[in-house]
Amino acid sequence: MSNASPLAVTVLGATGSIGTSTLDVIARHPSRYRIHALSANRARHRLLEQCRAHRPRLAVLEREEDAAWLREQLADARLDTEVRAGAEALVEISEAREVDVVMAAIVGAAGLLPTLAAVRAGKRVLLANKEALVMSGGLFMEAVARSGATLLPIDSEHNAIYQCLPTEHRGGLAQHGVTQLLLTASGGPFRGWSVARLADVTPEQACAHPNWSMGRKISVDSATLMNKGLELIEACWLFDARPDQVQVVVHPQSVIHSMAAYNDGSVIAQLGNPDMRTPIAHGLAWPERIESGVQALDLFDVARLDFERPDEAAFPCLRLAREAIAAGGTAPAVLNAANEVAVEAFLDGQLGFAGIGELVARVRDICPVEPASELGGILEADERARREAREWLACR
């Protein structure tokens, strides 16, 4: 490996929390990885800094006006990074022949098409963008199987489970003696709060996660437990598990990142400090191991590990997600789309915290469940759910 030429990496969502951590790990291993392309939505200043530091061949922004600005800045700095704008460019930097690894770290449904493009092109795909898999589960996993892409979960829980399972875990968990996946959850900033107390929490409170520093959307998802719901769906697809084989365990210290239970009574856990650079380094180097910059875990510092059942009465989103995966078809895509609209409305101050679950349930009741075997149908379901969610918000 050390003699080979560096692997070319595209980082989708480079300016975000996962993107920044990815670049941090990559910068520690210049002989193993080089950056082919970086993308951002609108964070052009941050992307400029990253272009200076990592010298990608290509940089992609959503809007042409931001791309034009970046082009000028790069020309002034005498850097030859080519700048493109728009969704098609995202697909191109994900499937380009010269790309070996794609970090899928865009937040939300916007990441679906480029992530699928990377999968279809048979890349090593590091999946942080859980929404893409939640929306398109069956289709996504079939594309992985067909193209021979190497899919490595970056979500810390799924990365932990991946590490706790036998290397070859396809073909159903039971075949490998796995009886249950134990998906740990920090419980978010409002663990133990009553429904009444949750009624007037603010976006700032929701985004102040006790253990992890993350983007705003996933921070709100962690506060409502929708994040755990999305992760339950993600686990079912990634590990070919039935929903009843995945148990959510609230573990406030966030030191055990998840576990696999076996039929001989063994429970295998993966532990570490809560720092996303561990799963990112694992995904980049698998099956090898590389240094990530994460501090070694000091168990005397941790001192104790606690476990609780999730409170689904105060946090209905977890139940809604379980119902969506059980309903199948486009139900998870509808859940995800309604949740994205609800979280945005909550962050904008248009919707209360409890309104998030209420809106998701409302949209779920309106939208029919269709088969999700075609991308077109999934995108239609996503669009319809967003429309219904916006109408509900406007009519209240």
16 touches, from ligand NAD, Mg ion, none (C-beta below 5 to 8 Å by class): ligand NAD
Angle at 174 between CA 168 and CA 175, to 5 degrees: 50
Among 36, 130, 169, 277, binds ligand NAD (CB under 6 A): 130
- Least spacing, CB of residue 1 vs ligand NAD, in Å: 27
Q: Which stretch binds ligand NAD (CB under 6 A): 8-16, 135-143, 173-181, 190-198?
A: 8-16
Residue 14 is a binding residue for ligand NAD (CB under 6 A)? yes
Instruction: By CB under 6 A, name the one of 95, 131, 311, 344 that touches ligand NAD.
Output: 131
Question: At residue 246, what is the residue type?
Answer: V
**Contact predicate 49/82, CB 8 Å:** no
CA–CA dist 335, 247 (Å, integer): 20
Q: Which of 292, 294, 295 is nearest to 26 (CA)?
A: 292
Is residue 9 part of the contact set for ligand NAD (CB under 6 A)?
A: no
Residue 214 engages ligand NAD in binding (rule: CB under 6 A)? yes
| 129 annotated as a binding-site residue | yes
Binding string, residues 215-244; x marks residues near ligand NAD by CB under 6 A: x-xx--------------------------
List the single partner that 41 binds among ligand NAD, Mg ion, none, CB under 5 to 8 Å by kind. Answer: ligand NAD
- Determine the Cα–Cα distance for residues 385 and 340; give it in Å rounded to an integer: 10
DSSP letter string, 275-286: -THHHHHHHHHT
**CB nearer Mg ion, residue 340 or residue 388:** 340
Exposed (0-12), middle (13-18) or buried (19+): which is 327, by Cβ within 10 Å? middle
The pair of structure tokens assigned to 230 is: 């999305």
Whether residue 368 has a cis bond before it, omega within 30° of 0:
no
Residue nearest to Mg ion (CB): 155
Stretch of 47-55, 57-65, 155-163, 250-258 lying at the interface with Mg ion (CB under 5 A): 155-163
Among 25, 28, 22, 29, which Cα is nearest to 4's?
29
What is the closest distance, in whole angstroms, from the C-beta atom of residue 339 to ligand NAD in the complex? 11
Q: Does 155 bind ligand NAD (CB under 6 A)?
A: yes
- Contacted by 234, from ligand NAD, Mg ion, none: CB < 5 to 8 Å by type: none
Q: Are the C-beta atoms of 130 and 231 separated by less than 8 Å?
A: yes
Which residues on neighbouring strands pair with residue 178, listed in sequence order?
262
155 known ligand binder: yes
Distances (CA, A) of 43 to 15, 63, 120, 218, 250: 7, 11, 28, 18, 34
Asked if residue 81 binds ligand NAD (CB under 6 A), the reply is no
Please report, for residues 127, 213, 253, the alpha-carbon distance to residue 343 in angstroms, rounded to integers and kept in the order given: 22, 18, 25
Taking the complex as a whole, the smallest distance from the CB of residue 78 to Mg ion amounts, in Å, to: 41
Picked from ligand NAD, Mg ion, none, the partner binding residue 131 (CB below 5 to 8 A depending on kind) is ligand NAD
- 8 A C-beta contact, residue 197 and residue 318: no
Binding part of the chain for ligand NAD, among 48-56, 166-174, 212-220, 363-371 by CB under 6 A, reads 212-220
Q: According to CB under 6 A, which one of 7, 8, 9, 18 is a site residue for ligand NAD?
A: 18
Q: Report the sign of the C-alpha dihedral through residues 284, 287, 288, 294, in that order.
A: positive
Q: Which of 131, 155, 382, 388 binds Mg ion (CB under 5 A)?
A: 155
Asked if 212 touches ligand NAD (CB under 6 A), the answer is: yes
Looking at the Cβ atoms of 43 and 269, the one nearer to ligand NAD is: 43
- Residue 256 bridge partners (DSSP): 271
Count of residues interacting with ligand NAD (CB under 6 A): 26
Query: x-or-dash pattern for ligand NAD, window 313-342, by CB under 6 A?
Result: ------------------------------
Nearest to 369 by CA among 315, 394, 332: 332
**Whose CA is closest to 247, among 221, 224, 228?**
228
Site membership for ligand NAD, residue 62 (CB under 6 A) = yes
Where does this chain bind Mg ion (CB under 5 A)? 155-157
Which residue ranges are tagged as binding site for 1-deoxy-D-xylulose 5-phosphate? 130, 156-157, 186, 209, 222, 227-228, 231
Which residue ranges are tagged as binding site? 15-18, 42, 129-131, 155-157, 186, 209, 215, 222, 227-228, 231
